[in-house]
């Protein structure tokens, strides 16, 4: 699930709008605008076990819930009475009530933080171009990754021959920030949800730049591509989470 482009409403319902319809938050399932909500909910239930289950157990660095907390929230979602849940877990009912209180306090903190964040950065957004998305990095994040949309547009226009089909890179940049910006465009030529052999990924990159090996290496180093340990299989990294 790509959190960057989803609103709170999108997360709550389990699907989000696209240019030509609606799409599931968890797979490539797509529906036309105006599709009955029941059809979308049925898909989430049958294919993904329900949107709530996906949210609670989502595999994301932003999900800080412990396994115990996930289990408790799953139980609370069923409407089970505190006394009955306490018996199941062999704890006092007061312990269950305390857990609910803790969750409510966290929710209050989250709402306050969102209000502060929106007030600060909505105002800032009117003054500067927003940053583009780059893959989550395993190492330290520095100024290389602070790339505005305006900056990226200017850089890409400078380094790519957009009149040529297929896409062609005019020259390889020297600065790492520019390399990273260039990679954000190159990766768009690699289909999502597909695995490729090294030969196949080379065939995709070769028309873009003659030194496709360097391009491939940087795509892996910066997290745009993932590969197996033996380097025999490559696939596009999905999302920044």
Q: What is the pLDDT of residues 221-237, one digit of tens each?
A: 999 999 999 999 999 98
Percent of the chain residues topping a pLDDT of 70: 93
pLDDT computed for residue 241 by the predictor: 42
How far apart, in whole angstroms, are the C-alpha atoms of residue 204 and residue 200? Answer: 7
Higher pLDDT, 21 or 101: 101
Sign, CA dihedral 57-61-64-68, equals positive
More confident residue, 83 or 139: 83
Confidence of residue 6 (pLDDT cuts 50, 70, 90): confident
What pLDDT score was predicted for residue 178?
94
Instruction: Report the candidate in 153, 113, 162 with the shortest Cα–Cα distance to residue 130.
Output: 153
**Per-residue confidence (pLDDT) for residue 124, from 0 to 100:** 57
Position 4 pLDDT exceeds 70: no
Domain 143-236 belongs to what topology?
Answer: Arc Repressor Mutant, subunit A (1.10.10)
Task: Return the pLDDT at 162.
Answer: 81
Model confidence, pTM? 0.52
Q: How far from 74 is each of 71, 88, 113, 143, 212, CA to CA, in Å?
A: 5, 14, 25, 40, 48
Q: Give the pLDDT confidence score for residue 132 in this predicted structure.
A: 85
**pLDDT at residue 240, as a whole number:** 46
Distances (CA, A) of 139 to 43, 135, 143, 222, 223: 38, 12, 13, 10, 11
Give the pLDDT of residue 125. Answer: 56
Q: What confidence tens digit (pLDDT) does each residue in 29-43 have?
A: 999 988 999 999 999
Q: Is 182 exposed, middle or buried (0-12, 13-18, 19+ CB in 10 A)?
A: buried
Positive or negative CA dihedral for 199, 226, 169, 204?
positive
Instruction: Report domain extents, the chain.
Output: 1-63, 78-127, 143-236
Residues 155-202: tens digit of each pLDDT: 999 999 888 788 999 999 999 999 999 999 999 999 988 999 999 999
Instruction: Tell me what the mean pLDDT of segment 120-131 comes to.
Output: 67
Q: Once rounded to an integer, what is the mean pLDDT over residues 196-220? A: 96
- Mean pLDDT estimate for the chain: 89
């Amino acid at each position: 699930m790509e959190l960057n482009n989803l609103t709170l409403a999108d997360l709550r319902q389990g699907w989000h709008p696209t240019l030509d319809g609606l799409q599931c938050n968890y797979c490539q399932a797509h529906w036309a605008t105006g599709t009955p909500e029941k059809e979308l909910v049925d898909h989430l239930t049958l294919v993904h076990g329900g949107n709530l289950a996906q949210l609670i157990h989502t595999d994301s660095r932003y999900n800080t819930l412990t396994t115990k907390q996930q289990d408790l929230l799953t139980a609370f979602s069923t409407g089970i009475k505190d006394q009955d849940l306490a018996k199941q877990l062999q704890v006092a009912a007061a312990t269950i009530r305390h857990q609910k209180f803790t969750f409510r306090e966290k929710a209050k903190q989250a709402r306050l933080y969102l209000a502060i964040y929106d007030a600060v950065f909505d105002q800032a957004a009117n003054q500067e171009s927003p940053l583009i998305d780059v893959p989550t990095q395993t190492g330290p994040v520095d100024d290389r990754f602070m790339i505005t949309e305006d900056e990226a547009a200017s850089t890409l226009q400078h380094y790519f021959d957009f009149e040529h089909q297929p896409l062609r890179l005019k020259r390889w940049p020297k600065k790492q920030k520019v390399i990273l910006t260039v990679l954000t465009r190159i990766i768009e030529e690699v289909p999502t949800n597909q695995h490729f052999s090294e030969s196949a990924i080379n065939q995709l990159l070769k028309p873009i730049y003659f030194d496709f090996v360097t391009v491939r290496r940087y795509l892996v180093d910066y997290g745009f591509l993932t590969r197996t340990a033996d380097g025999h299989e490559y696939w596009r990294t999905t999302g920044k989470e």
